[in-house]
Structure 1
Amino acid sequence: MAADPSFSQAHLYRLHQQVKKPCSLLIAPRIRSERIKGKIATPGLYLWEESRQGVATLLHDTSSFTDEEAKIRHGFAHCDGLVLLPAEDTVRVLNPATSRIIELPWSPNSVAPRRHLVAQGHQAFGFGRDHRSNAYKVARFFYRETRAMGGHGMEVFTIGKDQYWRETAAQPPYPFLAGRIATFFKGSLIWTVDQYSLMYECDPSLLLHHASMTCFVRFSLEDESFSIMTGPPWFEAGDYLESRLAKLNGELAVHRLGPNYESVEIWMCNDAESNNPPRWEQRHVFNFRAYIRLIATFNDEIVYQDGSSYLWRQTHQGNKFMVCMTDLKYHNPDMGTLVEYSWGTIKDFDVIFFIPTLVQI
């Protein structure tokens, strides 16, 4: 039954229509490699449900994957129960609920150019669904060997259709931040412009106009066109490195540290898909003195990671601690084992909102 596309699409539609969605996250522990210094390994993808506070359950074993360079590793992305797992030389898409995984073809653009680039590498990825065709697409932004304008490109792989990566007809209007996963939002991928690269590699004269630089670029998965997006009024200088986009309750969100670094401001917009400049509004202020990463909303309460192993949610009463990921027991149901990942072995954790589905790849 699960192999029937109409059944899996009906299951997905039902999940989208639920008013109260499951409170679950996908956690990937990133552990220091025992074999090679400076590399990290990802032993598996684990499902954590709020109803099972102390345990996360293994959904997919990734211990056989090649270790990654800690400085240029990529995060992962989720769309309709499918997960994108990109690395510098290998790109995979999997459905942890069905154990189906595919490895995308190699591309010459996965090879880093010889010229000097920032530590985060030379490429960035995005993943989402084309709402017109319902096809899932992986996009790769990359730097070329050449410098200056024209020294970067975009290629796309359509799952179930393409046999190889194909470069887009239009070139990205600006360089994007390498290593930063794009945010999928209403049929488009939203990329963060790398203002450092724009200033120092493309056109140094732009340094004088730093405050007025473009913040984001929207890439439509339907017609594969690019359009420019502005950010909140404060989004300039070094803010783009610390502030990450997220999708919360169907809106785009971005955060920044408040005055004197004693709070966190959450700015949101609900019209980012229009051709008009998005209208950003400050919606929330957290009394939290730390770098955070926005993850999801559980029943209208914002869930975030504090930059280490702690997960929190913002309630009407303030910050509420959810779980410390180094205190979790990680359960392998096939082996019947429980594993703990302590501070001594953990580099960090990647966490995304996740709802298991039967979508096919």
Structure 2
Amino acid sequence: MDWRGEQGDGILPGRRLRARGALSNAAGRFEAHGVEGVADGWEPVEAHLLRTEVRVERARSALSFNRSPDLPFDRSVNPYRGCEHGCIYCFARPSHAFLNLSPGLDFETRLIARPGIGAVLARELRAKGYRVAPTAIGTNTDPYQPCEAEWRVMREVVEVLAGCDHPLAITTKGTLIERDLDLLGPMAAKGLLRVGVSVTTLEAGLSRRMEPRAALPARRLEVIRRLTAAGVPVRVMVAPVVPGLTDHELEGILAAAREAGAVGASWIMLRLPLEVAGLWRDWLEVAEPGRAAKVMARLREARGGKEYDAEWGKRMRGEGLFAELIGQRFAKAVARLGLAEALPALRCDLFRPPARAGDQLSLF
């Protein structure tokens, strides 16, 4: 999508968008003032593309803990803040407001890399009170987004976890995960790793509009094949299921992923927390004008009449007849295809605290 900002959208005049998800850059909910782009007659003849910039954060901590009953893990690591994939539906967009940045275009163009987080993680894993459990990565923003090719922050995290036999669960739609198969393959062989690959649609055109800088569906299926060939157990994540837009593809996605080698599957209903709701509606009116009303009506039907419900037990799957039908279709499809809804538990008994530089035991 090639689009030029207009007055009131928070985009400065003379900036042009290409392959971006959000169509605006409104200030986050914590900001006292907003930014409004207004042409003053001095706009350059040739508009400039809005490009991605990456800033550095020196991490003071690596592990983030949660107590959510909706999540199958209690700890995670975030190598990056923001995500260049630009998925318009991303539930993590509101987290950018805590950085005094917009959940809109800032989320996908003003990224934060956290180099050195591997050393911080190693220190935390050596702590006397640390108790091992699987660490999840990719549950907020994608660790294998394009900037990982240069910054290699995820690589240093995986090196630490692989070096001490720590269990790891990765969620991604990025192809850069294939680069790390030299580490991930041996971890999987020990029962320390599983990977979830997100496939939202099989339609390349819809994917390009909805997830502008993510790998196309066919390429993600190839990622599943290559991970499987390396011995990594893969779960296909039909996430999010978009009512009235992608829900009809549920069985097709599961079948394609199974053919590619996936052994497990899961699904999540479209979530529109906080600023995501407005960004999604704006995108829908431009990218899918003929289906916008139907999509929002179906979504409200699955959300108790609202655009989003954050209540535990409902936020991931929704409620009502439509949500129940999706759940029934999913259950029948995975049973027919032989896909597991829960993969075997990762091993925790092999973990040993990372060695410090100079430790004599590291010589043996």
* TM value normalised by structure 1: 0.28
- Which structure would you say has the larger Rg? 2
* TM value normalised by structure 2: 0.28
Structure with the higher fraction of residues in strand conformation? 1
Q: Which has the higher contact order (CA 8 A, sep 6+)?
A: 1
Structure with the higher fraction of residues in helix conformation? 2
